[in-house]
Amino acid sequence: MSKGALYGIIAIVVIIIVIGAALAVYYYKPAPSKPSKPTSSVSGTFTWDTIGDPQTLDPAEAYDTASGVVIQNVYDRLVTYHGSDTQTIYPDLATNWTVDSSGKVWTFHLRKGVKFSNGDPCDAQAVKFSFDRVLIIGSPQTGVSWILSQFMYSYNKTTGKWNSPDGESSVRVIDNNTVQFKLREAYGGFLPAIAFTVASIVDPKVVNAHGGVQPGQDNDWMSQNMVGTGPYKFVEWKHNAYIKLEYNPDYWGGWEGKHFQYIMIKNIPEVATREQELLRGDADMAYIPINHLTDVEGKSGVTVNKGGLTYDVDMIEMNCRPTYENKTNPLNSKLVRQAISYAIDYNTLLKDIYKGYAIQMQGPIPKGMPGHDDNLFMYHHDPQKAKELLKEAGYANGFTVTLIYNQGNDVRAHIAQIVKEDLADVGVAVQIQELAWPTLLDKMDRGDYSMIIVGWAPDYNDPDDYAFPFLASYQIGGDTYRTGWHNATVDKLLMEAKYEVDQNKRAELYKEVQQIAMQDPAFIYLAQWKHVAVYRSWLQGYYFNPVMMLDFYHLYKGE
């Protein structure tokens, strides 16, 4: 499973609809009727001071959060989430859908009369074009198409045909307002996956007028321009400075109530500048890292929202191979890896490094995500237990390991120092190396490390997006971090869970996987970050959802 731009990505939740057979336990909700509102007010500009320039504005290529937040607000998908609800898939461009008893054939009925912001119709042909396009391009820049290729038929660039029994793609047009998906596999996370930005619906006429769809090639024009059906339309992108959006007056969702007319996303690297603009009221929202929150907390007119957990996690990966650098590798021993897990002072990390803005990560699937086990065993700080396990493993006199992290990451630098001190207390010597990001990734990809501090963020909210890349072996397409860990039972369970559509059965499979993983750890599960947002108190309509980007449509300025 390729992650492309590995660590900054987005997420989504699992729900399957029961039609005829008992395929799932989660349900979608029909489109709610809109309350009657006598007036509409679209005015003003929402200014957001943040960091990072988008990599691209093309949904078929985008795989980073800076790109994703723009795409989410300009384009629509067939399904989506509402508010803070992560347990329910809601209609978006699709009003309803059904699935057959095999779990492979999904039929979506589309919202009628939807138009792109340029006036072109959005219909079943546009849906088919958009999904096919992602798989034909197979973005060489980011590889984000892997999300769809898990369960949809792939495109053969050599033959110009799809790798399906009839040579057609997975997406079939039934009529102008009905589209059907014939999946290669009955994937348990299908609906969450197509709520991700890669499944955004683009305008075929616009794409074909600007380079079309070229197998294996990203579209340069689409990476810089946008025409969608969403609430906002693209105005301007001044690279490394700002992106400007304007409300789409023809948005199918309407503009009842209060909304911003313009959106300004400003890329401001200096935290001091972001703070100044926020405190002056020049910015409605600003990214303030946790080590600077005291600069703005308690200031008049500023709200610091600390509600909810993200799905962003930090871990330490351990090289589990029998040998490393032509020597016996102590980390090959399960007992040694258990000992190291007991040696870590998790409470100190949470207090001194995360400043209370994280909880200890409880296994490979984050809290709040389907498949998470609230009763799962967790390691705790027990140096004596660690010493006993090291003695049992034959390392009573300790050994030396190297711990690496990416250059410039202050959080991970501090983690490394605490881990070094904790392991020294049980007789294990740690050498710390700070490496440039490309160098670190190269060493990781080759499995050329003892221990490495990394993070993970969700693509979509399904346990397969965490458990499989972490715990599946490299032989079946897992082991993203190249730990070399391999458990045949876990491989079998993960493959069953991936393509099981009964969510109760999936939950039991993932429970068994997590229990094995905690008894034979390849990872030290450090922390799951809490959510923090900082904005002016006049900003209304804000909510946090760990599987979505910032939603501009529901924001407005209060009195």
DSSP letters along 227-257, please? --SSSEEEEEEETTTEEEEEE-TT-TT---E
Its pTM surpasses 0.75: yes
Predicted pLDDT at 38: 42
Indicate where the chain has its CATH 3.40.190.10 domain(s). Answer: 40-267+532-557
Alpha-carbon span 96 to 111, nearest angstrom: 9
Predicted pLDDT at 8: 34
Predicted pLDDT at 511: 97
Predicted pLDDT at 39: 64
For residues 407-437, one letter each, b for 16 or more C-beta atoms within 10 angstroms of the residue's C-beta and e for the rest, the string is eebebbbebbebbbebbeebbbebeebebee
Assigned CATH topology for domain 40-267+532-557 = D-Maltodextrin-Binding Protein; domain 2 (3.40.190)
Place of tokens 């690297």: 269
The strand pair at 309-318 and 523-530 is best described as: antiparallel
Alpha-carbon span 177 to 295, nearest angstrom: 52
Place of tokens 């990001």: 437
Indicate where the chain has its CATH 3.10.105.10 domain(s). Answer: 309-530
Q: How many CA atoms lie within 13 A of 442 on its CB side?
A: 5
Pick the CATH number of 309-530 from 3.10.450.40, 2.30.30.90, 3.10.105.10, 3.60.20.10: 3.10.105.10
List the beta bridge partners of residue 456.
313
Residues 6 or more apart in contact with residue 386 via CB below 8 angstroms: 339, 340, 342, 343, 426
Strands, E assignment, 100-197: 105-110, 155-156, 161-162, 171-175, 178-182
pLDDT tens for each residue of 143-171: 999 999 999 999 999 999 999 999 999 99
Select from 557, 220, 512, 176 the least CA-distant residue to 364: 512
Task: Tell me if 13 sits within 8 A of 461, measured CB to CB.
Answer: yes
Place of tokens 């006199």: 397
Q: How far is CA 92 from the centre of its chain?
A: 20
Alpha-carbon span 495 to 507, nearest angstrom: 13
Alpha-carbon span 459 to 5, nearest angstrom: 11
User: Measured between alpha carbons, how far is residue 90 from residues 29, 30, 152, 253, 286 in Å?
Assistant: 6, 7, 22, 14, 29
Alpha-carbon span 42 to 187, nearest angstrom: 41
Packing angle, helices 503-519 and 464-471, rounded to 10:
30
Select from 329, 337, 313, 336 the least CA-distant residue to 448: 329
pLDDT < 50 regions, the chain: 1-38
For residues 290-326, one letter each, b for 16 or more C-beta atoms within 10 angstroms of the residue's C-beta and e for the rest, the string is beeeebbeeeeebbeeeebbbbbbbbbbbbbeeebee
Select from 330, 345, 470, 311 the least CA-distant residue to 402: 330
Dihedral angle sign, alpha carbons of residues 133, 134, 140, 141: positive
Task: Tell me if 517 sits within 8 A of 471, measured CB to CB.
Answer: yes
Predicted pLDDT at 87: 86
Residues 6 or more apart in contact with residue 165 via CB below 8 angstroms: none
Q: Which phi and psi (to 5°) does residue 433 adopt?
A: -130, 130
